[in-house]
Amino acid sequence: MAKTSPGEFIQQVRQEVAKVTWPSRKETMITTGMVFLMVVLIALFFFFVDQILSFGVRVILGFGG
């Protein structure tokens, strides 16, 4: 494995960064909104599943319900 000088390394890093396709501001905002929406939906799903299971356990153990 050949050693790379620091200057050559920096040049290679700049070349690779130039190849990156960065998302537009609009794409970033849409993606961020979708992530927040999915987090809320999953949180609600688990909340309701937890409530249903909690109710079932209370009924089985006779703690009311």
* Per-domain boundaries in the chain: 24-65
Q: Tokens representing 34? A: 């979708």
Average pLDDT for the chain: 93
- For 26-60, b/e burial (b = at least 16 CB within 10 A) is eeeeeeeeeeeeeeeeeeeeeeeeeeeeeeeeeee
**pTM given for the model:** 0.65
pLDDT at position 3: 85
DSSP label of 2:
-
Find all residues with CB under 8 Å of 12, minimum gap 6, and list them: 4
The pLDDT tens digits for 15-27 are: 999 999 999 999 9
pLDDT at position 4: 84
